[in-house]
Amino acid sequence: MYKTILVSIDLTEDNISRLVIPHVETLARLEDAHIHFLAVLPKLSSFYGMESLPVGHYSSEKDRLQHAEAGLQQMAARFNLPDDRTHCTIAIGSPRDCILLLAEEIGADLIIVASHRPDITTYLFGSTASSVARHASTAVLVVR
């Protein structure tokens, strides 16, 4: 049933990502699933004109990607999962589109997202979580 699971991680949100750990570990064990972690970075062009975002933070695009890759691997290491079944992918673009695209590419039978940032109580679902749940062609687990 759940042999290939996509776990979508927002690298800017440490606490929210922790919430998904027990869910992922439990589901992964059921059928020795392959777990694909995905973190999506914004296109650099979306930073233009937004002073609060780290425009000059990285020396190059390669540096930004390497930093994200290392961050995602650190996050993945917090999950108790077999190394040979754990995969990390960094994508650039809209989180919703990248999540749905990777799910298709790997033939995911489940997508796991967190519902929203814990400090944002106004919305039941964040925009990425709700949009993935609405548009995915596979099952979606929204973790609260």
Residues in contact with ligand ADP by CB under 6 A are 8-10, 13, 16, 38-40, 95, 113-114, 116-117, 120, 126-129
Q: Which residue is nearest to ligand ADP (CB)?
A: 126
Measured from the CB atom, is 80 or 127 closer to ligand ADP?
A: 127
Say what the alpha-carbon torsion angle 19, 55, 95, 66 is, to the nearest 10 degrees.
-70
Other CB atoms within a 10 A radius of the CB of residue 114 amount to 26
Radius of gyration of the chain (CA): 15
What tokens were used for 101? Answer: 């695209």
Other CB atoms within a 10 A radius of the CB of residue 24 amount to 22
Measured from the CB atom, is 40 or 100 closer to ligand ADP?
A: 40
User: Could you tell me the smallest distance in angstroms from the CB atom of residue 112 to ligand ADP?
Assistant: 7
Measured from the CB atom, is 9 or 136 closer to ligand ADP?
A: 9
